[in-house]
Amino acid sequence: MASYDLVIIGTGPGGYVCAIRAAQLGLKVAVVEKNPTLGGTCLNVGCMPSKALLHASELFEEAGHSFAKMGIGVSAPKLDMAAMMNFKQQGIDGNVKGVEYLMKKNKIDVLAGKGKIVGTGKLEVTGQDGKTQSVEAKSIVIATGSDIARLKGIEIDEKRIVSSTGALSLDKVPGKLIVVGAGVIGLELGSVWRRLGAQVTVVEFLDRILPGMDGEICKQFQRILEKQGFAFKLGAKVTAIDSSGKQLKVSVEAAAGGNPETLEADVVLVAIGRVPYTEGLGLKEAGVALDERGRVVIDDHFATSLKGVYAIGDVVKGPMLAHKAEDEGVAVAEIIAGKAGHVNYDVIPGVVYTTPEVSSVGKTEEDLKNAGVDYTVGKFPFTANGRSKVNQTTDGFVKILADTKTDRVLGVHIIGREAGEMIHEAAVLMEFGGSAEDLARTCHAHPTRSEAIKEAALAVGKRAIHM
């Protein structure tokens, strides 16, 4: 029987990163993966393919709308959907092969098949051919990720009624696209198809978009998306979809009930969130506890209720983000190897990869109000940032929330081009417990959009220079 120090079930960003770190620390490691390719949701049907389509569709829109004003004359861009999907697939293949290479480089065995825990230190792996192999491991990490959340009574066929997976592979641009859910995935994929020509309506149960993100940032973001052509129906829910005719008939009513109306659509994207995935793992029989939302329960050291079994990533509590899964993978590998692994959950950035981008780290204004923390706001708009002005990309602003007494930065929120890259100087500052004054006194290269962060930090002390 094959025997390892550590076996990880799942090769998403949590699992494969955990495997590499454990191998670096000298452990004999194997990963188990049921899919034909490594990399999990993120590489195959999540972060990476969505970013490929966001990049391609953004350039498609720019070529059609922005080039002329810069004096670049091009004829109207033509969409070659097959080529765009091929571009996306090449990106997926490159990344997936990269993970395969890293497994080989770090001498990590890949066990192809579905993993099941049969007790402390014992697993079974069942391959596509139905053959089962038994494996022993001193430690096991569950990194089985998440699956799409479904709407009751609505069947996803991945053709006309799609999840994010189907929305990444449509073969033509839908005339009318209804997105159910104004979260990150719905707005990103809605952006892709709007840029390529779809008329997009977003139906959201809550009365705001991007729940959990800073309210002021989201209000401005919604206005910008509306200017781009998005329509929003907030405080509303989809109750049924009639797919018998050529067009889908989508029943929408107020979140509290009443005021029903029927909207027509060519495609409906259900993007109401994701749920932890533990199917077939044998957790109940093995004695691994789940919480009321189906997540694997862990302690502060990622240990489950079964000795020697740990869990990380989307399958446990916390934000369902690839970098959170990766950091937990590193931390649990270090703990298993006898070191002090740790994740700082107060400093996990979040990014919406639309145009403009939205990024945030730390507390929102709503969080601080609810917690009764005395805070000071420093804001700086990109309309006053030189680089943004010359590039004519002035939508958005930087907002810094600092503790009024200590000046420590508690949260940073940015809406604007490249906000997803810019957020990390704030994350580093916050990781070191830095103040707005520290940020304001750090020399920033000119002309950059990052100068808006320095100016927002200056604005905390009411001394922004360019405003």
Contacts with ligand FAD by CB under 6 A lie at 9-15, 32-35, 40-42, 46-47, 50, 114-115, 143-146, 164, 185, 277, 280-281, 313-314, 320-323, 325, 353
Is the Cα torsion angle 203, 206, 207, 212 positive or negative in sign?
Answer: negative
Our CB check for ligand FAD shows the closer of 14 and 381 to be 14
Closest CA to 232 of 274, 196, 199: 199
Rounded to a whole number of angstroms, the minimum distance from the CB of residue 9 to ligand FAD is: 5
Our CB check for ligand FAD shows the closer of 148 and 265 to be 148
Cα–Cα distance, 36 to 365 (Å, whole number): 44
Rounded to a whole number of angstroms, the minimum distance from the CB of residue 444 to ligand FAD is: 26
Closest CA to 91 of 33, 38, 49: 49
Rounded to a whole number of angstroms, the minimum distance from the CB of residue 390 to ligand FAD is: 29
Cα–Cα distance, 333 to 15 (Å, whole number): 10
Our CB check for ligand FAD shows the closer of 64 and 87 to be 87
Cα–Cα distance, 193 to 53 (Å, whole number): 9
Query: Are the C-beta atoms of residues 16 and 31 closer than 8 Å to each other?
Result: yes
Rounded to a whole number of angstroms, the minimum distance from the CB of residue 134 to ligand FAD is: 15
Rounded to a whole number of angstroms, the minimum distance from the CB of residue 20 to ligand FAD is: 13
Our CB check for ligand FAD shows the closer of 351 and 452 to be 351
Tokens linked to 196: 């390529």
Q: 160 — phi, psi (to 5°)?
A: -105, -35
CA dist 110 → 5, 20, 33, 84, 445 (Å): 14, 12, 7, 31, 45
Our CB check for ligand FAD shows the closer of 51 and 408 to be 51
Tokens linked to 359: 């990024």
455 burial level (CB within 10 Å; 0-12, 13-18, 19+) = buried
* Active centre residues (catalytic): 446
